[in-house]
Chains A and B, each alone.
Chain A
Amino acid sequence: MNIIECKNLTKEYLSGENTVVALNDVSLEFEKGEFCAITGPSGSGKSTFLHVLSSLENSTSGEVIYNNESLKKYNDNQLSILRRRRFGFVFQAYNLVEELTGYENILLPIMLDKKKPDEEYLKKIIDILGIEDRLSHLPSALSGGQQQRIAIARALANKPSILFADEPTGNLDGKSGREVLSLLKYVSKELGVTLILVTHDLHVAEQADRVIRIEDGAVVEDSKYNQ
Chain B
Amino acid sequence: MKKLTFNSLAFGNLKHRKKQYTLLVIGIILSMVFSSGFVFFVSSAVTSAIETHNYKYGKQSEIVTNVVTNDSLEAVLNETYEDHGYMHILGAITTVDSEIELGTAVGWLDEGGKELYYQSLAEGKMPQKKNEIAIEKCALTRLGGTYKIGDKITFDLYAQNGAEKSEKPTKKEYTLVGILNDKRSNIGNQHGGQAFELPAAFVADGSKVELGGKESLHCLILSGDEEDEIGAYIKALRETKGSGDGTGIYTTGGYELSYTIADMFGVDAPFLLLLVFVAVLALVSNIGIVNAFSTNLKERKKQIGLLRSVGATRRQIIKIYGRESFIICLLCVPLSLVISVFAVKMSVNLMGTNFVFKPSWWVLPLSAFFSICVVLLSSLIPLASASKISPMQAIRNIQINRKMKKKKIKTQKEFIPSRLLASRNIKLYKNKQVLTSIILAIAIFGSVFGYSIIGGVKKNNRMIDYDYGIEAEYYDFSYRQLANYEKQVNGFSDNDVQDVLYNSNVERVVTGKATNGYILVDELTDYLRLCGYTNDVYQQNYSKKGEITPENYHKFTEDNLENKAVKEKAEIKGEVFPLSFYGVEEEYIESLKDAVTVGRIDIDKINSGEEVILLVPEYIELSAWDYDGATGPDMDFEWSLKPTETIADNQVVLDSAKIGDEFKVDKGITLGWIGTEEGEPVEYEYEGGEGKIKTGEFKHTKIETDTKIGAIIYLPADISNLFYDYSFFSSSKPCIVTSVDGIDTFTKNLPYLSMKVHLNQECNDEIEEEMMTLFDRLTAEMGSPSIYSAYERAKSGETTAKTLLLIITAVVALLFTLSGSLINNALTARIRESKKEIGTLRAVGASVKDISSSYIRQLLSVLGFGTALGFGAFALFYGIYCLIFISMGDTTDDFVLTFWQTIAAVIALFVCCVANVHFKVKKEMKNSIVENIREL
- By a beta-carbon cutoff of 8 Å, the part of chain A in contact with chain B is 51, 56-58, 76-77, 80-85, 89, 91, 93, 95-104, 107-109, 111-113, 116-117, 135-136, 138, 140-141, 154, 158
Asked whether, in the complex, the Cβ of B415 is within 8 Å of the Cβ of A138, the reply is no
Asked whether, in the complex, the Cβ of A141 is within 8 Å of the Cβ of B401, the reply is yes
Asked whether, in the complex, the Cβ of A99 is within 8 Å of the Cβ of B428, the reply is yes
Among B688-696, B733-741, B845-853, the stretch that binds chain A is B845-853
Asked whether, in the complex, the Cβ of B846 is within 8 Å of the Cβ of A80, the reply is yes
Asked whether, in the complex, the Cβ of A99 is within 8 Å of the Cβ of B421, the reply is yes
| Chain A min CB distance to B463 (Å) | 58
Among B363-371, B404-412, B502-510, B566-574, the stretch that binds chain A is B404-412
Residue of B nearest to A56 (CB): B929
- Please pick, from B400, B930, B933, the residue contacting A98 in the complex, using a CB distance under 8 A: B400
Q: Point out the residues of chain B lying under 8 angstroms from A109, CB to CB.
A: 844-845
Q: Point out the residues of chain A lying under 8 angstroms from B425, CB to CB.
A: 99
Residue from the set A95, A99, A103, A108 with the largest chain B CB neighbour count within 10 Å: A99
Asked whether, in the complex, the Cβ of B421 is within 8 Å of the Cβ of A97, the reply is yes
Asked whether, in the complex, the Cβ of B421 is within 8 Å of the Cβ of A140, the reply is no
User: With A99-B425, A111-B417 in contact, do A154 and B844 touch (Cβ < 8 Å)?
Assistant: yes
Q: Point out the residues of chain B lying under 8 angstroms from A91, CB to CB.
A: 840, 843, 933
Asked whether, in the complex, the Cβ of B850 is within 8 Å of the Cβ of A112, the reply is yes
Asked whether, in the complex, the Cβ of B397 is within 8 Å of the Cβ of A98, the reply is yes
Asked whether, in the complex, the Cβ of A112 is within 8 Å of the Cβ of B928, the reply is no
A109–B846 CA distance with the chains assembled, in angstroms: 8
B416 close to A (CB within 8 Å): yes
Mark contacts of B911-936 with chain A using CB atoms, 8 A cut-off: 1 yes-contact digit, 0 otherwise.
00000000000000100111001000
A-B contact pairs, 9 of them (CB 8 A): A56-B928, A56-B929, A89-B844, A91-B840, A95-B840, A97-B837, A98-B837, A100-B424, A103-B413
User: With A56-B928, A108-B844, A140-B398 in contact, do A100 and B420 touch (Cβ < 8 Å)?
Assistant: yes
Asked whether, in the complex, the Cβ of A85 is within 8 Å of the Cβ of B401, the reply is no
Q: Point out the residues of chain B lying under 8 angstroms from A56, CB to CB.
A: 843, 928-930, 933
Residue of A nearest to B424 (CB): A99
B187 close to A (CB within 8 Å): no
Q: Point out the residues of chain A lying under 8 angstroms from B850, CB to CB.
A: 112
Q: Point out the residues of chain B lying under 8 angstroms from A103, CB to CB.
A: 411, 413
Asked whether, in the complex, the Cβ of B415 is within 8 Å of the Cβ of A89, the reply is no
| Chain A min CB distance to B848 (Å) | 7
Asked whether, in the complex, the Cβ of A99 is within 8 Å of the Cβ of B400, the reply is yes
Q: Point out the residues of chain B lying under 8 angstroms from A108, CB to CB.
A: 417, 841, 844
- Please pick, from A98, A100, A101, A111, the residue contacting B416 in the complex, using a CB distance under 8 A: A111
- Lowest 4 A-B CB distances belong to which pairs? A84-B845, A99-B424, A56-B929, A140-B401
Q: Point out the residues of chain B lying under 8 angstroms from A135, CB to CB.
A: 411
Asked whether, in the complex, the Cβ of B848 is within 8 Å of the Cβ of A83, the reply is no
| Chain B min CB distance to A169 (Å) | 18
A198–B929 CA distance with the chains assembled, in angstroms: 17
Total interface residues on B, using CB and 8 Å?
Answer: 37
A77–B842 CA distance with the chains assembled, in angstroms: 10
A57–B425 CA distance with the chains assembled, in angstroms: 28
Q: Point out the residues of chain B lying under 8 angstroms from A140, CB to CB.
A: 396-398, 400-401
Q: Point out the residues of chain A lying under 8 angstroms from B417, CB to CB.
A: 108, 111-112
A81–B847 CA distance with the chains assembled, in angstroms: 8
Q: Point out the residues of chain A lying under 8 angstroms from B401, CB to CB.
A: 138, 140-141
Asked whether, in the complex, the Cβ of B845 is within 8 Å of the Cβ of A112, the reply is yes
A136–B415 CA distance with the chains assembled, in angstroms: 15
| Chain B min CB distance to A17 (Å) | 19
A83–B846 CA distance with the chains assembled, in angstroms: 9
Q: Point out the residues of chain A lying under 8 angstroms from B837, CB to CB.
A: 97-98
A93–B850 CA distance with the chains assembled, in angstroms: 23
Asked whether, in the complex, the Cβ of B928 is within 8 Å of the Cβ of A95, the reply is no
A168–B844 CA distance with the chains assembled, in angstroms: 16
Q: Point out the residues of chain A lying under 8 angstroms from B843, CB to CB.
A: 56, 83, 89, 91, 95
Asked whether, in the complex, the Cβ of B928 is within 8 Å of the Cβ of A58, the reply is yes
B414 close to A (CB within 8 Å): yes
| Chain A min CB distance to B145 (Å) | 82
Residue of B nearest to A141 (CB): B401
Mark contacts of B360-401 with chain A using CB atoms, 8 A cut-off: 1 yes-contact digit, 0 otherwise.
000000000000000000000000000000000000111011
Asked whether, in the complex, the Cβ of B424 is within 8 Å of the Cβ of A112, the reply is no
A140–B839 CA distance with the chains assembled, in angstroms: 18
A108–B837 CA distance with the chains assembled, in angstroms: 12
A77–B414 CA distance with the chains assembled, in angstroms: 23
Contacts A84-B845, A100-B420, A104-B411 known; list 12 others, CB within 8 Å: A76-B925, A77-B847, A81-B847, A83-B842, A100-B424, A101-B409, A101-B411, A112-B417, A112-B846, A117-B413, A140-B401, A154-B844
Asked whether, in the complex, the Cβ of B415 is within 8 Å of the Cβ of A57, the reply is no
Asked whether, in the complex, the Cβ of B400 is within 8 Å of the Cβ of A104, the reply is no
A93–B836 CA distance with the chains assembled, in angstroms: 11
A56–B841 CA distance with the chains assembled, in angstroms: 11
Asked whether, in the complex, the Cβ of B424 is within 8 Å of the Cβ of A83, the reply is no
A109–B842 CA distance with the chains assembled, in angstroms: 10
A85–B845 CA distance with the chains assembled, in angstroms: 8
Q: Point out the residues of chain B lying under 8 angstroms from A154, CB to CB.
A: 844
Residue of B nearest to A136 (CB): B411
| Chain A min CB distance to B315 (Å) | 28
A56–B929 CA distance with the chains assembled, in angstroms: 5
| Chain B min CB distance to A84 (Å) | 2
A82–B929 CA distance with the chains assembled, in angstroms: 14
| Chain B min CB distance to A38 (Å) | 16
Q: Point out the residues of chain A lying under 8 angstroms from B421, CB to CB.
A: 97, 99-100
| Chain B min CB distance to A171 (Å) | 12
Q: Point out the residues of chain B lying under 8 angstroms from A81, CB to CB.
A: 845, 847
A111–B412 CA distance with the chains assembled, in angstroms: 11
Q: Point out the residues of chain B lying under 8 angstroms from A102, CB to CB.
A: 411
Q: Point out the residues of chain B lying under 8 angstroms from A101, CB to CB.
A: 409, 411
Q: Point out the residues of chain A lying under 8 angstroms from B420, CB to CB.
A: 100, 104, 111
Q: Point out the residues of chain B lying under 8 angstroms from A116, CB to CB.
A: 414
Asked whether, in the complex, the Cβ of A57 is within 8 Å of the Cβ of B404, the reply is no
Q: Point out the residues of chain A lying under 8 angstroms from B404, CB to CB.
A: 99, 138
A98–B425 CA distance with the chains assembled, in angstroms: 10
Asked whether, in the complex, the Cβ of A83 is within 8 Å of the Cβ of B409, the reply is no
Asked whether, in the complex, the Cβ of B928 is within 8 Å of the Cβ of A83, the reply is no
A164–B247 CA distance with the chains assembled, in angstroms: 103
User: With A97-B840, A117-B414, A135-B411 in contact, do A80 and B933 touch (Cβ < 8 Å)?
Assistant: no
- Please pick, from A57, A85, A96, the residue contacting B840 in the complex, using a CB distance under 8 A: A96
Q: Point out the residues of chain A lying under 8 angstroms from B848, CB to CB.
A: 76-77
Mark contacts of B825-860 with chain A using CB atoms, 8 A cut-off: 1 yes-contact digit, 0 otherwise.
000000000001101111111111010000000000
Residue of B nearest to A101 (CB): B411
| Chain A min CB distance to B298 (Å) | 11
Q: Point out the residues of chain A lying under 8 angstroms from B846, CB to CB.
A: 80, 84, 112
| Chain A min CB distance to B832 (Å) | 15
Residue from the set B411, B420, B842, B925 with the largest chain A CB neighbour count within 10 Å: B411
| Chain A min CB distance to B858 (Å) | 11
Residue of A nearest to B840 (CB): A95
Q: Point out the residues of chain B lying under 8 angstroms from A85, CB to CB.
A: 845
Q: Point out the residues of chain B lying under 8 angstroms from A89, CB to CB.
A: 843-844
A150–B804 CA distance with the chains assembled, in angstroms: 62
Asked whether, in the complex, the Cβ of A80 is within 8 Å of the Cβ of B412, the reply is no
Asked whether, in the complex, the Cβ of A107 is within 8 Å of the Cβ of B845, the reply is no
Residue of A nearest to B398 (CB): A140
Residue of B nearest to A86 (CB): B845
Asked whether, in the complex, the Cβ of A57 is within 8 Å of the Cβ of B841, the reply is no
A100–B204 CA distance with the chains assembled, in angstroms: 89
Asked whether, in the complex, the Cβ of A95 is within 8 Å of the Cβ of B424, the reply is no
Residue of B nearest to A50 (CB): B930
Q: Point out the residues of chain A lying under 8 angstroms from B396, CB to CB.
A: 140
Asked whether, in the complex, the Cβ of B414 is within 8 Å of the Cβ of A111, the reply is yes
A87–B846 CA distance with the chains assembled, in angstroms: 13
Q: Which of B402-460 contact A (CB under 8 A)?
A: 404, 409, 411-417, 420-421, 424-425, 428
A189–B319 CA distance with the chains assembled, in angstroms: 56
Residue of A nearest to B841 (CB): A97
Asked whether, in the complex, the Cβ of B844 is within 8 Å of the Cβ of A57, the reply is no
- Please pick, from A51, A76, A112, A117, the residue contacting B844 in the complex, using a CB distance under 8 A: A112
